[in-house]
Chain A
Amino acid sequence: MPAPDQGDGTAMGAAVLEMVAQGLSGPVLDRLAPGSLPGPYRVSTALGDTTTHGLLGTRCDLELHGRPDRLTAWGHADHVLGLPDAGAVLVEGIRRYDGRRVLLLLPLDTPYTQVREQRLGALAGARYGHLEVTALAVPGHALLGTVQRHASLLHDAVAATRLGLARLLSDLAQQSVCGALAHAQRRPFQDGVLAGRQAFGHAVAEAAAAVRMCHAVTRRAATASGPARWDRAVRAGVFVARAVPQSVGTACRLFGGQGFMDGHPMAAAYREAVFAPVLLGGQQRLVDSMRQRLAGETSPPTLADGQAPAQTVRQAQAQGVGRPGQHPVPGSMR
């Protein structure tokens, strides 16, 4: 996997594309439509918000109308990563006749599907797109099953992708802080160097602590499994999405005016970092999850169609108010 490059915004975009292909589109397609596609890089993914909780900023609103043997798809999807370069798209839609959410693999080279590129000002190496679907006949082989049936697969893939992106962004923050540190050791300031100033040291220490927390919480989430992992991934993602822009912002500020020049690695890192909340999403899920626990509800963190395994319900009941997703990891002292 390519590392995000502060100096070249395209590298971060490529790293994100690859992370999504390997973490989300690839595993899902391998299981649901093995061997039917040229590869995950040519397939975009547009799942619903209840499945991804805002991952990648994608919104999908698609409906399937008609009889079971003559379904047609209508709707649209926004902010779909890699869509302008894709040959097909894995989407989530609602089947009107039974109200179930289903997964579909739709071709993009038809008169009934239109793709329009969307420019988001970050991830220069990756293109976003808007998909418009109008009266597209859906053959049986394009239906890959219900979201409920494949909930574990989908949520595992979403969690893996979210954690992968969180790692990428944490690395970006680490590089930025290191960059500011290296710069300050060379930068003359009054009778010494900038790195010798106490205010600089304190600011860089604070940013470094945030970066280490990002890495710790991402690693910890990855050690969990099942619904606990899905929930932890969301929570880790929300933390990283806030902490990374702050850390990179601090690094950028400490670096000085040169770091704001277009094309400078610091400026590129800042541009990618402020996009972190869009990439990782999860804000609303975090709030809903806390509200549910306070209200004594036992719905699981991210299961589709409101179906909760008994184990998840028991876990939710056992955990204290305000301690969401903190199921002990085996061997943990938490």
Chain B
Amino acid sequence: MKPSMPSPATPMTDQPLLGPPPPVLDPGSPAAFNESARALADAEITPNLAHWERQGSVSRSLFEAMGRAGVFGIGVAVEHGGLGLDLAHGISFVRAVMREPAAGVCTSLSVLTHLVAPLLARHGTPGQRDRWLRPVLAGRCVASVALTEPGGGSDLVRAVATTARPEPDGWLLQGEKTFITNAPLADVLLVLARTTPGTSALGLTLFLVPADLPGIVITPLATAGLHASPTGRVSFEDCRLPREAVLGRPGLAMVLLAGILPEERLAIAAGALACARWALERTARLLGASDQAMPELAWWDAEIEAAETFVDAAAERIGGPQDQLDAALAKTAGARLAQRVVQDCARLSGPGAYRDDEPAPAMLSALRDVRVLSVYGGSCETVRDTAAAELLRGALTPTQGPPTTTQATPTAP
């Protein structure tokens, strides 16, 4: 059963108007892509942002507009109907959207651009690509990724209690997922379920589950931030899936996710830093050039720039031997820096930062939204565990170049 979403009167800005055709992404050159991404955000997102925040959800028309513009195909190969661009372009799009405090919109879109579409393109069968990837790319199909459960969080491997039992003609799905982005609007859910009893990472499988399947109940959740991003809880009660619902191979879900996770984490880091930059620029304009806080703002600016540059460098190295480590470090550093900068900008901005009656999303939205950026994509603490493990593994590799002390020092950091 699909939940009934609130349906307030659609604002004029949400309707296609007569005039120039809506912009589409231009993959011709980095500069052209940047410009088209900004134009797209200005035309399709910014005018509707306040409405979506009040409504508590983006509308389906957003996905349709983004699909027409080619957004969901940024990281998908041309032969599968995408634009065949690299992660740097995906990050560029995130930055274009986040020139306003639009973390909710960005989150909803990123689920498709950085998770669902690349996973389907890389691991889907021809049939799955025909059924799901094409409509996702066109913006006709909204997708969710259902990983988190009520009894767990970033400790996915041990925490997954949702099961998919093999049946003669397919699988029987049973369990519950929560904090699922886009769930209230979803047409298809990518569900992580345990297919082998125990706690092994190789006992988990990803399933493509149509959201209108009997046995599925989706309940919208009210969250403290990301108001434009519809979030929900999904329960599966004796939900029967065909054999071909498996994405990739049974038992290999974590391998698939590990391959895509660095990209998602870098996109989150880029979004978090863009949120911090928006807050910084707004605060700097508010305070003026002669304000005593200018040295502090200038330093944050340098910090954000360094972190952005690291994200860019890590994006260029994606697929390399240290991409897990780079992404983990960038995600934790970016999210924590963003949280600190946004909070301090709000402090410097005074009571006006906490106004809830601004005509457009402002500092309060950024303040609410930035909190969750250190949670999703793996909480900062869990991701730092991953980074520490990677660093220790790297520390055991032979030193490159001559040692500079009496003891050979490794080169991992």
Contacts and interface: CB of A to CB of B under 8 A. Distances in A.
Interface of A: 3-7, 11, 174-175, 177-179, 181-182, 185, 195, 198, 200-202, 204-217, 219-220, 235-236, 238-239, 242-243, 265, 283, 286-287, 289-292, 294-295, 320-326, 328, 331-334
Given A174-B413, A238-B299, A208 B281 contact: no
B17 interface: no
B305 interface: yes
Interface stretch (B56-64, B143-151, B379-387): B379-387
Contact of B284 (A11, A195, A321): A321
A322 B288 CA distance: 11
B33 A178 contact: no
A181 B332 contact: no
B18 interface: no
B389 A178 contact: no
B13 interface: no
B284 A294 contact: yes
Given A178-B410, A212-B329, A243 B294 contact: no
Contact of A212 (B95, B297, B405, B413): B413
A287 B303 contact: no
B222 interface: no
Contacts of B385: 198, 201-202
A185 B381 contact: no
Interface in B12-70: 30-31, 33-34
Interface residues of B, number: 60
Interface in B340-384: 381, 384
A202 B381 contact: yes
Given A205-B332, A321-B284, A333 B392 contact: no
Contact of B31 (A174, A294, A328): A328
Contact of B413 (A181, A198, A243, A334): A181
Nearest to A322: B281
B155 to A, nearest CB: 13
A213 to B, nearest CB: 4
B310 A212 contact: yes
Give the top 3 A-B pairs by smallest Cβ distance, nearest first.
Answer: A201-B388, A208-B413, A294-B289
9 contacts: A178-B411, A182-B408, A209-B330, A215-B313, A286-B298, A287-B298, A294-B288, A332-B312, A333-B312
Interface stretch (B84-92, B127-135, B160-168, B240-248): B84-92
Given A175-B404, A322-B297, A333-B33, A181 B391 contact: yes
B294 A332 contact: no
Contacts of A198: 385, 388
A208 B409 contact: no
A295 B289 contact: yes
For the residues of B in contact with A, the DSSP-based class is helix
Interface of B: 30-31, 33-34, 88-89, 91-92, 95, 277, 280-281, 284-285, 288-290, 294-295, 297-299, 301-303, 305-310, 312-313, 315, 326, 328-330, 332-333, 381, 384-385, 387-389, 391-392, 395-396, 404-413
Given A208-B329, A219-B313, A333-B91, A202 B395 contact: no
B113 to A, nearest CB: 15
Contacts of B329: 205, 208-209, 212
Contact of A204 (B289, B309, B381, B391): B391
B404 A6 contact: yes
A242 B395 CA distance: 25
B413 A207 contact: yes
Given A201-B392, A321-B281, A333-B34, A177 B306 contact: no
B395 to A, nearest CB: 5
A178 B289 contact: no
Nearest to A11: B404
A295 B407 CA distance: 53
Contacts of B298: 286-287, 289-290
B297 A290 contact: yes
A178 B391 CA distance: 9
Contacts of B294: 287, 290-291, 294
